[in-house]
Amino acid sequence: MEAVLYLYTESRRITKGVAGQYGLTGPQLAVVKLLEPVARLSLSELSWRIRAKNSTVSGIIDRMEREGLVTRERSLSDRRVVHISLTEAGRQLACEIPVEPFHIFRTVLSELSPRDARDLKRVLTRLARRVEELVSEAGPEPGRKVNE
């Protein structure tokens, strides 16, 4: 458990430090680096990838849009879908940021043997599924609407 907490704490510390150097928050840095290699992502896909609610990510995108880093565009085929893309300023900023926040962890994980990597993935996946079960059994967060 201490190792998991250490990895979580270090990833947040590194992300915050790198983000601060570029005038971003940690979540904004995550958005910039997630959008960098792709043309665009839907708000839902972006939310899933950074493990946050759509409403939370929408607030992050609001601020980034005001700062000229991203644009929003409704899908022509499904008006409920909103696509997020980096602007030219956002792409330039993404290029300036040398590494994404999890680069260190990817490097360390790549040094594992194939067997250790498989075992780690298997165990972490099992833990994540169990946490999801427990969270869903607990019901909605206090003050959160059931259909949110």
pLDDT tens for 29-76 read: 989 999 999 989 999 999 999 888 999 999 999 999 999 999 999 988
> Quick one: average pLDDT of 82-87?
96
Topology (CATH) of 2-98: Arc Repressor Mutant, subunit A (1.10.10)
What pTM does this model have?
0.72
Q: Residue 146: what pLDDT?
A: 44
Residue that is written with structure tokens 């609610």 in the block: 53
Q: With 0-12 CB in 10 A as exposed, 13-18 as middle and 19+ as buried, what is 80?
A: exposed
The two tokens of residue 83 are 């696509």
pLDDT tens for 101-147 read: 667 778 888 999 999 999 999 998 999 899 889 988 887 655 544 44
For residue 119, give Cα distances in angstroms to 102, 116, 123, 129, 132. Answer: 20, 5, 6, 15, 20
Q: Residue 24: what pLDDT?
A: 94
Q: Residue 141: what pLDDT?
A: 58
SS3 of 82, please? strand
